[in-house]
Each structure stands twice: as structure tokens, then as C-alpha cells.
Amino acid sequence: MNKTKINDLAIFGGDISFQESLHVGRPNIGNRDQLISSINKILDNRWLTNNGPFVQELEQRIREFLHVKHCIPVCNATIGLEILARALEWQGEVIVPSFTFVATAHALQWLGIKPVFCDIDPQTQNLDPTCIEELITSQTTGILGVHVWGRPSAIKELQQLANKYKLKLAFDAAHAFGCSFQGSMIGCFGEAEVFSFHATKFYNSFEGGVITTNNDELAAKIRSMTNFGFQGYDNVVSLGSNAKMMEVAAAMGLINLDSLDQFIETNLHNYNTYREELADIRGLQLISYDYQEKNNYQYIILEIDSEKSILTRDQINDILHAESVLSRRYFFPGCHLMEPYRTLYPDSNIHLNQTNKLTTIVLSLPNGTAVNAADIRAICQIIRLAITNGDEVARRLIPHK
């Protein structure tokens, strides 16, 4: 059954259309000619993986960019989190937000570690340090914070708690490449941090990521674990996996690193355009960024206040999808309400009031180099028309299931 489109409602008039669908997370791509040239070099070298020259160069450049001692490239951030959890010797329970992509929790559960879901601060949308102490038990071995939307977690407060209870603190920094906290680049905090370079991230290497740390011993352990536990030629010293980044992924990472400033500038321009276009619409608010810090401005996150807006978040999402604007309901419904967690830990829901609320009001809108100012104005016009004529739209909309 087709959903109601804005143009189907005669009360609106006009015509809103896009040449192609606008997606959240559509990949940014740097210099194509340079990429093709790099791929040809890889083929000529016949060095496709196993720490080739492109991987080595990417590692060095990211290490220098983040001002961190060690950077270990990996095939993807989920495997990176699993490797890090093993290297930190986490076991039993690890405290983590439910308001995150499910990979954060999966990386723990996959290893037999219980993710203990903690509520968030509704202002920062990151882990609320005031909620953590009551969740710490004799089985707790770590805290895994997430820098949601690239905005830093409460790093100092989390580190104080980790020190107090002798826990190992690490961060899922999947959203936070190119972001800073109090003037220092994210990537330098906790025991280690894991970045995602998945295709949907503003900076991508097709697929991939890195683990960063200032701990020499931990870095050596992680590096060995990413290569089956090898330490030198024919010398396996520990359990490990195959988490290595391929040369072609590193080549993509290098050309996109050259375009990083352009990507961020585009994201910021788009963010400011959204903010101007949506500023006076009742019941809507864009999340804010700290302009004193470095940000990548990747995420255009709209909060829909159900008490002020005639239409719900889900109704607005349905309208946008009908108009080929593929917005996303991040991180609906929350990890704790996905399997296997809602079956394994059914009582976790009672501790997550802010998480449960936020997952019903947040909507992510398209951003990146595939979106231009005209696209953004059209997206905002759809939202404005829908809300301005909310009663009529609500009457005609198919109820969201």
C-alpha cells in the first residue's frame, strides 16, 4: 500500500521532486582518478593485504592527524571492538549505552560478555555518568562509552568512575573521526578508541576502521590479535583473528583523507542550511554542536517534540520516505529492545527512561556531498508543509505500524 505523498494532498499545491532518492549515509567519494591510479599500483605491486604500503601510509597519517601514539587499521569497527574487548580482558559485565548502533552491544555479547545497558543524558545523548554507579557489580570489568553524533562522551567523569572502581574504560568512536574534546582529538582517551570507516560514515575506506591508543603494551597486543596472534614470522604467541585492513580499503581511505576538509566544510554548510530552514517550525529542534571544538557535522539530527508537534516522528518519517527522502529513525527502538537483548535481559527496560523517550523522537536527515542546498530546502519544505497542515496530513496518512 502506498504512503500518502505531499503532492497527493491538494491543499499544498506546488510540486516537490528529486532527481534521485536522498539517503542518510550516502558515501562521500574523493578523487576518483587518484583512487583508480592507486588501485593500479596495488595490482602492480601484487600486495593486496597483510600490512601493505597503503595500509602503512594510512596508519601513519591517521596517527599524526589524531596526535596519538598508536593506530592499528582493521577490516571494520565491529571486529575492532571485539579485538579491543579481548585485549582489555573484559569479561563478566561491561556498561554500555543502549542508545547506539547495535554493533556496540553485539561486539560484547558475541564474546560472551554481558552488555549492561545504562541510560543517557538527554542533553548530550551520551552515557549519563550519574546512572553508572548503581549498575556496577562484582562482575563489572569495563565501561564502553560511545561518542554519539561525534559529540564527546562525559570523558572525565567516566574516567573518574573507571579509576574509582578499577574498571577499564574504552570508547566506540564510530561517529567521531575528526572531532575533539577540550582541544584534544578524540582517539586519545580511555584505554583505547575504535573508529569506523564504513561506507555510511562521512569519512570512509569502503569498509574498515582503526583502533587508537597511547598504551604501548596494549597496542602491541592488539596488533598481534588482528593477525591471528602472530608476533614475528611463524611465531604465534596468542589467540587472534583476521582483522586486517586490505590495501584497496586503505587506498580509498587515503584519497578521502585528502578530501576530509572539503567533506567537513560541506557537512557544516548543510547543517547551517537545515538550521536556518527549520528554525521557526514549532515542535522541531536540531541538535547543536560546540563550535569551540572540532566536529565533523555528519549527523543532521532532528528532535520532534510530540507535545508541540501535530505530527509524530514516525509520521514525518513516513512522509519523507514517500517523497524519496530516506531519513532514519536512529537508534530505534534501542539495543535493549532488539534481539537477543530483549529476551536475555528483559528487566533492562526499567532503567532506561531517557533512552526509551529519545528513540521515539529522533530523526536523522540526509547530509554529505550528495546533498545540495536546493535539496535541503526541498526537504525542509516537505517537513514545513506537513506540519503546517498537520491535521489534514494526519487524517490522510496511513497509520504507522
pLDDT of 9 reads 47
Q: Which three cell numbers mark 262? A: 572539503
Report the relative pairing of strands 22-23 and 325-326 from DSSP bridges. parallel
The answer, yes or no, to whether residue 310 has pLDDT greater than 50, is yes
Other CB atoms within a 10 A radius of the CB of residue 372 amount to: 14
pLDDT digits 0-9 by tens, 338-364: 999 999 999 999 999 999 999 999 999
pLDDT of 15 reads 57
The answer, yes or no, to whether residue 401 has pLDDT greater than 90, is no
Amino acid at 145: G
Measured at the alpha carbon of residue 161, what is the angle toward residues 159 and 163, in degrees to the nearest 5? 70
In the chain, the largest separation of any two C-alpha atoms, in whole Å, equals 73
Please tell me the pTM assigned to this model. 0.94
More confident residue, 96 or 349: 96
Please say whether the beta carbons of 146 and 127 come within 8 A: yes
CB-based contacts of 310-314 (< 8 A; 24+ apart in sequence): 310/283, 310/387, 310/390, 310/391, 310/393, 310/394, 311/386, 311/387, 311/390, 311/393, 311/394, 312/360, 312/400, 313/360, 313/361, 313/362, 313/363, 314/360, 314/400
pLDDT of 1 reads 35
pLDDT digits 0-9 by tens, 199-246: 999 999 999 999 999 999 999 999 999 999 999 889 999 999 999 999
What is the residue extent of each domain of the chain? 32-258, 260-396
pLDDT of 319 reads 95
Task: Please compute the mean of the pLDDT values over residues 288-315 and round it to a whole number.
Answer: 95
pLDDT digits 0-9 by tens, 148-157: 999 999 999 9
Which of 29-38, 103-112, 307-316 is the least confident region?
A: 307-316
The answer, yes or no, to whether residue 64 has pLDDT greater than 60, is yes
Fold that domain 32-258 belongs to in CATH: Aspartate Aminotransferase; domain 2 (3.40.640)
Indicate the burial class of 171 (C-beta count within 10 angstroms; 0-12, 13-18, 19 or more): buried
Q: Which three cell numbers mark 332? A: 530505534
Residue 128 backbone zone (phi > 0: left; psi -120 to 50: alpha; other: beta): beta
Q: Do domains 32-258 and 260-396 have the same CATH topology?
A: no
Q: Which three cell numbers mark 347? A: 528487566
Q: How distant is the alpha carbon of residue 142 from its chain centre? A: 21
Q: Please tell me the distance from the alpha carbon of residue 133 to that of residue 79, in angstroms, as a whole number.
A: 28
Instruction: Look up the CATH architecture of domain 260-396.
Output: Alpha-Beta Complex (3.90)
Other CB atoms within a 10 A radius of the CB of residue 91 amount to: 15
Q: Which three cell numbers mark 230? A: 602472530
Confidence of residue 394 (pLDDT cuts 50, 70, 90): low
Q: Where are the alpha helices (DSSP H) in 46-181?
A: 53-66, 77-87, 103-109, 155-165
